[in-house]
Structure 1
Amino acid sequence: MADADSTPLASVAAKSTSRSAAARPALSGTRLSDRWRLVLVWLVLLIVPFVAPNAYLVSLANMMLINIILIASLNLLVGYGGQISLGHAGFYGLGAYVSGVLNVKFGLNAWAGLPAAAFLTGLAALVIGIPALRLRGLYLSMATLGWNAILVVMFNRLIDVTGGPNGLLGVKPFALGALKLDTDARQFPLLWLVSFVVMLAILNLLSSRIGRALRAVATNELGADAVGIDSFRTKLLVFVLSAGMAGIAGSLYVHVNQYASPDTFSVSNSILLVVMVAIGGSGLYWGPILGALIYTAVPQLLLDYEDVELMLFGLAMIVVLLVAPGGLAGLPAVLRRRLARRRPL
């Protein structure tokens, strides 16, 4: 088996990790300010339902909040952990179908389905991760891609359970007593709160001992092992946490849309999620917000160009990556460095 450093995907991950490490502020004295920035950003987001001119824009804001959870969870694994997974949309779909099926087939309410989706998705990641994370680079990517493909086949073939290609119908929304959260405006506060909690949890994780161990493993796995860090256990823990967060996003998705289709969770969407991590800023805390914004808004802007939507989307992504190879969230740091070089001594 080839060494991880000899594969193209592994070299990209290593370069992304080194760039993000340079762009990331030191842990001491910065996390508090990051928390205040997070609070400020989410307070600004809170006014969206009041200023949006129509329900359609509120629905897009809802999807963006779900996508923030999804992309932030993948950024934790790919950007900070240096592990390239092409199966994240599969975990997203598993969370959606677990919560949706428990609701439709077993009468479990959405509030119970949310933790069940996170737990069972994390459990599936544990089972898959034990053998898969012993692989490196391209081989790990192939293993996770295969896992995603298997899930899509199951979503399509288990017709009596999942609804098959026609999708899972009849999913009930979240409810507070007799009040059903079945409109965009009513759903927004729930998605706003859950996405805030997830982003805060990721921030706390990154500043913890586990976060420091994760960075060490991503930078130099052999060196991390040499100083007493169990690199395999660290990678497995983050893989499970990342999948569990994707399961939360899937549960929110299915109860907000009251429907799930296998097409939403395809391998191509997993690849696109990795691209969104890179565009937003791999290994940068604020990158997923920018990635989610692009992931949500650009397809809507290209609806009038359905025949060439994929080509235009691809070209747009190439341009962004050429202009900002470290991601959009890394642009301010790049501009500051360039301005510093031009200043006279």
Structure 2
Amino acid sequence: MKTSTRGLLILAVVLAVLPLLLPNSYYFDVAIRIALNAVVVVGLNLLMGYTGQISLGHAGFFGLGAYASAVLTANYNWPPFAALAAGAAATGLLAFVLARPVLKLKGHTLAMATLGLGIIISIAINNEGQWTGGPDGIAVGALSAFGIEVAGEKQWYAVAAVLLLAVTWLALNLIDSPVGRALQAIHGSEVASRVAGIDTTRYKVRVFVLSAVVASIAGSISAHYVGFITPNMAGFFHSIELVTMVVVGGMASVFGSILGAALLTLLPQLLSAFEGWEVVVFGAILMATMIFLPRGLVPSVGLMFSARKRG
């Protein structure tokens, strides 16, 4: 059995067993938020970890999905899943239009361009108050289909868990395909990839669009789950949080993405005991992780086990 298949089965078992161990609605809420964050981070890791393209504006795509669902359902009475699909399609189209000029850049210039994109989306959401509610935010209706409404923490957990499993399966299959090998070749060297006959621009555009659409879908689901959204979810600090989840969990590691999302979603809850010092302790933990585990948690631990076996 492939390592990726085994990992996916383990993830499915963990997600199936976890609801039996969660004692109350608070823990269900944390688990749901972890799963939804992990969905975005898995998609972002395909872009950053496997293809080597930096994005500091991914929260903008997350926010576009959230606001598309909120505005279309609240103001135009669209069915929730139709609004979700429209938001994902619009986000994918925007990402496709912007990908070619943006992804021609490299290094810090690419980072600044994606940062600017995220800031523009955040400003637009803030300023278009007649549609988005502006800085005050907007209420989002329940998620429903065919007259059946998702209600209660167990149903929401099932939605988030299924979505995470689907995105993880998609990412693992993509990585094991010729497309995935082309993405990793681009990360290694774009020049060598072109010499080998790989259309680097096409592949970079595709993975950028895919990661944006995944973020949009997660944003739509999150909006319905939370029930009220503000422009902060599309802001710069949320983008940095998503990138940090990728880096801490492990670049070019799907399961590292999930672990990174889990840790960085849990840490603020666990550090609440350090009254007034939460941010300092949080920063110290991140620094220590990068110093002692520079590849991220999952790849670094994997290398340690491999070295012990060889020894």
Q: Find the aligned partners of 2:10 and 2:309 in 1 and give their Cα distance.
A: 28
Is 1:102 paired with 2:67?
no
Q: Find the aligned partners of 2:135 and 2:277 in 1 and give their Cα distance.
A: 25
Question: 1:235-292 deviations in whole A, cap 9, x for unaligned?
Answer: 1111000101001110110011111111122112212211211110101121111111
Q: Is the 1:48–1:58 contact (alpha carbons within 8 Å) kept by the matching residues of 2?
A: no
Q: Is the 1:63–1:296 contact (alpha carbons within 8 Å) kept by the matching residues of 2?
A: yes
Question: 1:313-344 deviations in whole A, cap 9, x for unaligned?
Answer: 11111111122111111133222244246x4x
Structure 1: gaps of 5 or more residues:
1-28
Q: Which moved more, 1:301-310 or 1:188-197?
A: 301-310
Q: Find the aligned partners of 2:234 and 2:110 in 1 and give their Cα distance.
A: 19
Q: Is the 2:81–2:145 contact (alpha carbons within 8 Å) kept by the matching residues of 1?
A: no
Q: Find the aligned partners of 1:146 and 1:307 in 2 and give their Cα distance.
A: 31
Whichever residue aligns with residue 236 of structure 1, its letter is V
Q: Is the 2:62–2:233 contact (alpha carbons within 8 Å) kept by the matching residues of 1?
A: no
Corresponding residue number in structure 2 for 1:143: 113
Change (3 A) 1:326 1:259: same
Is 1:268 paired with 2:237?
yes
Aligned-pair identity in percent equals 37
Q: Is the 1:93–1:250 contact (alpha carbons within 8 Å) kept by the matching residues of 2?
A: yes
Corresponding residue number in structure 1 for 2:299: 330
Q: Find the aligned partners of 1:217 and 1:176 in 2 and give their Cα distance.
A: 41
The equivalent position to 2:259 in structure 1, one of 290, 294, 299, is 290
Corresponding residue number in structure 2 for 1:59: 29
Shift of 1:309: 2.6
Corresponding residue number in structure 1 for 2:205: 236
Q: Find the aligned partners of 2:83 and 2:17 in 1 and give their Cα distance.
A: 28
Structure 2: gaps of 5 or more residues:
none
Whichever residue aligns with residue 56 of structure 2, its letter is L
Within a 5 Å distance, the mapping from 1:165-314 to structure 2 comes to 165-169=135-139, 171-305=140-274, 307-314=276-283
Whichever residue aligns with residue 75 of structure 1, its letter is N
Q: Which moved more, 1:124-133 or 1:143-152?
A: 124-133
Q: Find the aligned partners of 2:264 and 2:255 in 1 and give their Cα distance.
A: 15
TM-score (norm 2): 0.95
Whichever residue aligns with residue 122 of structure 1, its letter is G
Q: Is the 1:99–1:114 contact (alpha carbons within 8 Å) kept by the matching residues of 2?
A: yes
TM-score (norm 1): 0.86
Two-structure CA RMSD over aligned residues (Å): 1.6
Q: Is the 1:118–1:248 contact (alpha carbons within 8 Å) kept by the matching residues of 2?
A: yes
Q: Find the aligned partners of 1:178 and 1:337 in 2 and give their Cα distance.
A: 52
Shift of 1:304: 4.1
Q: Find the aligned partners of 2:72 and 2:100 in 1 and give their Cα distance.
A: 27
